[in-house]
Amino acid sequence: MFMASFHRLARKAALAACFSVVAGTGVAQAGDITFWTWRQEDRAAYTELFRDFTRANPGINVKFEAFPAETYNTILSTALAGGRGADVVQARAYGGLEQVAKAGYLVPLDIKTVPELGNLPVEALAAESLRADRQVYAMPYASQTLGVFINKAVFSAAGVSVPETWEQFLAACKALKDKGYIPIANGTATAWMDEVFTGIFTNPFLGPEFVADIQAGRATFEDKRYTTALSRLLELRDYFPPGYTGIDYATGQQLFVTGRAAMFAGGSFEISNFRKQNPKLDMGFIAPPAPTAGAARYVAKFFDGGYAVNAKSPNQADAIKLVRFTGTKEYGDRFAALLGNISPIKGVVLADPLLAEVAKLNEVSMPYIMAVYFRFDSPTGSELLSNGVQKMLGGSATPEQVGAEVTQGIARNYPPFQKK
């Protein structure tokens, strides 16, 4: 009942916020274009980035407006459906983009009108395209990598070496716990982080062949390869924080940045935030442990979102200029430096040593499976997996049950999983 009431209130708040914007708070003046995002924390960086754009395009100013992340999709789709909204919008990738692009709310982009699309790799453009026809609707802005953060000072103080294999990882966790540290900061109270955690630790046990089999319909998530990989997570429960089922995302972060925990399973998108929370934090970012010595250590990779043009914008020419600007190497260099994210634009320089390390890890990567392939229909693979892993790590479901529930949920909209 509580969650149902919460979601009703969230929807009402989203609609109220949207109607407020439609009523006039987001309307640009002459010479202005508006930009909407869910990332209020990036305001200072975008202020600088948009200042660069104005210098290159005198007379065009960009107005930044941010909305709560949890209601952004509703606010955006409601505004666009009413023929309003910002001139340029930050759209989520994969299924998040498809929801608004399919409805005709965004301007299709092509190499003739936006030649800077040629500066992006194919897989980045795929994240901002419709599945049906591969039409691109947004300029990709960041790739993200999932792996394991380590607190170097904690490892040093405990006299523990950074692990490379699963066996070494478990041994390191035990040694850290024996020294009084929480080995892994993550809890399970924040559902989406359970999917992140799962993607990190299962990928090396699965390998690219499993992904190919899933796409071709040769396997489902009931496959023994997948359920066995899921079962590995059960081996980590002794190394989570005490009361881990009640530990949420923010609390887990705090355990890591304050040095109470040695590791945090997360994404490269955390780097900037961790530094803000603790500027003195000496952290590293490693690939998850390999199943055995010499085996590949696959990080999980995905693309975060893109910049799209509102199909009803009265300022489309200027909006497209802004989107083209975000596809230049100059923008990518500044974006990476200011926001601590890896720009997917070819040739971008990563001055940050830690970001450069992450980019190197991307050379041995696999897709973040649920985000890349199964966030397009309801229920999403992400929702199904998060719910299942929460139950599994809480002791109320087996890996086999989780695999079956995920498969059955996805099968509603995914023909390769539908039994003949």
User: Max Cα separation, the chain?
Assistant: 64
Domains annotated for the chain, with CATH where assigned, are: 12-142+304-345 (3.40.190.10), 144-301+367-417 (3.40.190.10)
Which of left, alpha, beta for 89 (phi over 0: left; psi -120 to 50: alpha)? beta
Residue 38 per-residue DSSP state: S
Q: What is the pLDDT of residues 157-216, one digit of tens each?
A: 999 999 999 999 999 999 999 999 999 999 999 999 999 999 999 999 999 999 999 999
Residue 135: per-residue pLDDT:
97
| Dist CA 140 CA 189 (whole Å) | 31
Residue 419: per-residue pLDDT:
78
Residue 31: per-residue pLDDT:
75
Q: What is the pLDDT of residues 351-383, one digit of tens each?
A: 999 999 999 999 999 999 999 999 999 999 999
Closest CA to 26 of 80, 97, 96, 93: 80
In whole numbers, what is the pLDDT of the chain averaged over residues? Answer: 93
Start-end of H helices in 21-149: 43-56, 72-81, 95-101, 122-127
| pLDDT more than 90, % of the chain | 92
| Dist CA 144 CA 203 (whole Å) | 15
